[in-house]
Structure 1
Amino acid sequence: MNKRSDSILILTCEHACNRLPAAFKKAVPAEILKTHRAYDIGAYTVFRKLVRFAKPEFSCEGNFSRLFVDLNRTITNKSAFSDYLRELETRTPATAAKIKESATNYWTEYRAAIEKFVDSALKPKTRAAKSAPTIVHLGIHSFTPVLNGKTRNTDIGILYDPSRPAECALAQVIKGEIKRLYPAMKVRFNYPYKGTSDGLTTTLRKKFGPRYVGIEIEINQKFFQR
């Protein structure tokens, strides 16, 4: 995808790794940290390659597992915190409260850094500017091939809001480029998740309006399995 002169590209990878803070590490079984429940397997590899290739004006990735806090959920969403933290709350409430406070602060800092960049980038730099820039945000994710015994029937999912024309157009461009380079690749829109579900892109759409264009790329983890 070629970057237009009036667009600003940002790349993020919310579920980049499976690390946990030391205070929370014992609460999660080591074998779980190796699975898709802890992070988006393979997503960080793709993200780093895209950063090197596309050279976005802003990029960031999560430094902790989504079992600590899910950066792609609003903090008030029940699923922002894992069952492991809720289990810890029943055993040692004081410890759990400190961990939750730390997780909330981390989530807030991550979101604030992105919103600060977008807000600054969308402000007119000079009165002579011919057109206001548009933020193009690609969030890089991956999904497990089988969930709850059901096989996910796609190779790459492109998630967007169908009610937003700019996102519809960009989703078509991305699909077209993938199919041009890899004709056999199965690409589906808003699968295996809906692009309008609670997430970073939905929050940024509400906050910044039509000058923000947010797309999530979901890659089947079968490509990263040995």
Structure 2
Amino acid sequence: MSGRPSPRLVLSCEHASHAVPAHLRERFGDDRMQALLASHRGYDLGALALARRLARALEAPLFAGTVTRLVVDLNRSPTNPRVFGAPVRDLDARERAALLRRYHAPHWARVGAHVARVIEAGDLALHVAVHSFTPRLDGHVRRTQIGLLYDPARPLERALCARWKRRLEAVAPHLRVRRNDPYEGRADGLPTALRRVHPADRYVGVELEVNQALLMGPTDARAAVSDALRATLAAVMTPTP
């Protein structure tokens, strides 16, 4: 990343919480809904702890969601039909709009405002949105352990993720690191929305997806993954000679 504005890291964690607003708790009261809340459908297990470790180690701001994705999905645009979880889709338009105002709009505004300040200061905003994914979905075992999601049409994103992948494979060769897997980096979400606002040479948006098998395992294994991600992210942020 030599010859370019200095990168400044901004971390977010859209699916950090499985909290339910008090006035909606009766919709989540039975055992089935409680189990759903505690599962990968309620939030990204282990993602917030990882994001906090990265934020501390790299001295970066972290913006974390405060509501379960089963109420409002903070990684979908407000006009996406699936921005509301199934348990609340029958709410009337006024109630749904209130949920967007209370949870979705503030999160997007906080992240967006910080990114804008970085760019206005003449720096490069490196936005890493920290997520996790379930090891098995609909009976399919996901082999990827770390996914780096980006827009291939944006050269800095493509180059940074290629470099980050190489670094990860060098320090942790046992990990299966893939780009744009298990999801596509151009899918609807917060980084995609910010790409529409900021030029490709000033905003780099990457979604870091980590297999929950790595984040919910033994303490030493979790620490090893966190350390590998921290060290390699720091390395790719350092300008090359």
Short-chain TM bin: 0.7 to 0.9
1:218 maps onto 2:209 in alignment: yes
1:53 maps onto 2:57 in alignment: yes
TM-score (norm 1): 0.87
**Paired AA for residue 20 in structure 2:** L
**Partner-residue secondary structure (3-state), 1:209:** coil
Provide, for residues 28-81 of structure 1, a one-character-per-residue CA deviation record: whole Å limited to 9, x for no partner: 22111110000000111110110111111x321001111111110001001110
1:69 maps onto 2:72 in alignment: yes
CA distance in structure 1 between the aligned counterparts of 2:178 and 2:153, rounded to whole angstroms: 17
Number of aligned residue pairs: give it. 209
Are the aligned partners of 2:52 and 2:62 in contact in 1 as well (CA < 8 Å)? no
**Deviation, structure 1 residue 176:** 1.8
CA distance in structure 1 between the aligned counterparts of 2:216 and 2:205, rounded to whole angstroms: 28
1:114 maps onto 2:104 in alignment: no
Residue correspondence of structure 1 range 2-151 to structure 2 within 5 A: 6-28=6-28, 29-56=33-60, 58-86=61-89, 88-89=90-91, 93=92, 97-98=94-95, 100-105=96-101, 106-124=103-121, 132-151=122-141
CA distance in structure 1 between the aligned counterparts of 2:156 and 2:85, rounded to whole angstroms: 34
Are the aligned partners of 2:5 and 2:124 in contact in 1 as well (CA < 8 Å)? no
Gapped runs of 5+ residues in structure 1? 125-131
CA distance in structure 1 between the aligned counterparts of 2:112 and 2:178, rounded to whole angstroms: 29
TM-score (norm 2): 0.82
- 1:129 alignment counterpart: none
**Deviation, structure 1 residue 102:** 2.9
Provide, for residues 58-109 of structure 1, a one-character-per-residue CA deviation record: whole Å limited to 9, x for no partner: 32100111111111000100111011012x43xxx4xx843x2332112111
CA distance in structure 2 between the aligned counterparts of 1:150 and 1:190, rounded to whole angstroms: 18
CA distance in structure 2 between the aligned counterparts of 1:97 and 1:197, rounded to whole angstroms: 27
- 1:201 alignment counterpart: 191
Moved over 2 A (4+): none
Tell me: CA distance 1:220–1:21, structure 2 relative to 1, closer, same or farther (3 Å).
Answer: same
**Deviation, structure 1 residue 187:** 0.5
**Partner-residue secondary structure (3-state), 1:64:** coil
CA RMSD, 1 decimal: 1.7
CA distance in structure 2 between the aligned counterparts of 1:78 and 1:121, rounded to whole angstroms: 31
Provide, for residues 190-221 of structure 1, a one-character-per-residue CA deviation record: whole Å limited to 9, x for no partner: 00100000011000011112110000010001
**Partner-residue secondary structure (3-state), 1:215:** strand
